[in-house]
Amino acid sequence: MPGMNMEQHAPKPTDVSSTAAYQAADQKMMSGMSGVEYTGDADRDFVAHMIPHHQGAVEMAKAELKYGKDAKLRKLAKNVIAAQEKEIAFMKQWLEQHPRKP
Is 74 within 8 Å of 65 (Cβ atoms)? yes
Instruction: Please name each of the domains of the chain with its CATH number.
Output: 41-102 (1.20.1260.10)
Query: 64: which residues sit within 8 A by CB, 6+ positions away?
Result: 73, 74, 76, 77
**pLDDT tens digits for the chain (102 residues)?**
455 454 555 656 656 899 989 999 989 888 888 888 999 999 999 999 999 999 999 999 999 999 999 999 999 999 999 999 999 999 999 999 998 877
Full-model pTM: 0.79
pLDDT value of residue 73? 97
pLDDT value of residue 99? 87
